[in-house]
Amino acid sequence: MKIFLCSVLTLATLAVALTRAAAQTFAGFDDFSTLSGSPAALDGKWAYFFRTNGSGTGNGDLVFSGTQLDFSKGAGAGSYFLGWLGAPPAASRSIGSYTTSWVAEISVTSNFASLAVGPDFLAVGIEIAGGNGQFSTIMLNTNTAGNFIRTEGSGTTVNEVSSPGSTDVRLRLSWDATTKLLVSSFSTDSGSSYTGLTTFTPDTQWTGSTQSTNGFNFEIWVNSNATAAVPAGGTSLDNFSLVAVPEPSTYALLASGLGLVGLAVWRKRR
């Protein structure tokens, strides 16, 4: 009886640890269905925005359409970036996101089969940013040749693959806190299967940054240098998720606890 109770308590303790590991404060989900107003005040989830292209003219915007975020811009370069749970400075980074494994995803859509003028581009994606302007990103990129999945990042070469027959893509960045590797992948079947692309190593590429103590910034964005205007509804983002993943050692402890319970039950029956 004592063994059984001890095993149950051990299992309960492990279950609590597992729950806490999966409930990091930086994790969350947003299907963009309960928002209101401009992106600068999206219920505090995306409280910070900035532009990297067309910033001088303020061109580009992400607008809540009722079920998703739609990008639009006037003629000329334009962009819009949104930061998850705060602004990019180090003090606002997602604490624990460097020491906890996680998976970040976003569904993106581009209704443009291609752009008419080279070297015009229209890109929509997800990225993480660290110190010293470093970043790693995966995007759906449209240019004169059509649609492509493209990865870019500090200290690595551009990787680009064709995405034939699909302008609806699920983009993913996965961080392994044990190996310190960041893997980019994408899905063209609503997340049923994924194709892996670039593997980043931020701990060595981002020397001098403070991600080890302050974590990463998570951002969603759209950027274009297209001469023509982009109307709302042509490019959109939906169903953002950021899930903390317990380390394998945590699962091993949980399995061990289950084994103890099974042994106690077996002994009790005998």
DSSP states of 93-134 as a string? Answer: SBTTTTTSEEEEEEEEEE--S--SSTT--EEEEEEEE-STT-
Mean pLDDT of 210-228: 85
Distance of alpha carbon 191 from alpha carbon 107, whole angstroms = 9
Question: How many folded domains does the chain comprise?
Answer: 2
Structure tokens at 210: 């403070």
Three-state SS sequence of 40-67: HHECCCECEEECCCCCCCCCCEEEECCC
Q: Which domain holds residue 1?
A: 1-22+252-270
The reported pLDDT for the residue numbered 261 is 46
Instruction: State whether 89 and 31 are in the same domain.
Output: yes
159 and 256 share a domain? no
Mean pLDDT throughout 58-68?
A: 86
Residue-level pLDDT at 36: 54
Q: What percent of the chain has pLDDT over 90?
A: 28
For residue 252, the model assigns a pLDDT of 46
Q: Are residues 39 and 109 in the same domain?
A: yes
pLDDT digits (tens, 9 = 90+) for 124-160: 999 998 767 788 999 998 887 778 899 998 877 788 8
Confidence of residue 173 (pLDDT cuts 50, 70, 90): very high
pLDDT value for 101: 95
Same domain, 151 and 55: yes
Do 185 and 118 share a structural domain? yes
Residues 127 and 177 in one domain: yes
Helix, strand and coil content of the chain, in percent to the nearest 5, comes to 20, 40, 40
Residues 232 and 259 in one domain: no
Q: Let me know whether 113 and 219 are in one domain.
A: yes
| Same domain flag for 56 and 128 | yes
pLDDT averaged over the chain? 77
- Quote the pTM value: 0.81
Residue 2: predicted pLDDT: 47
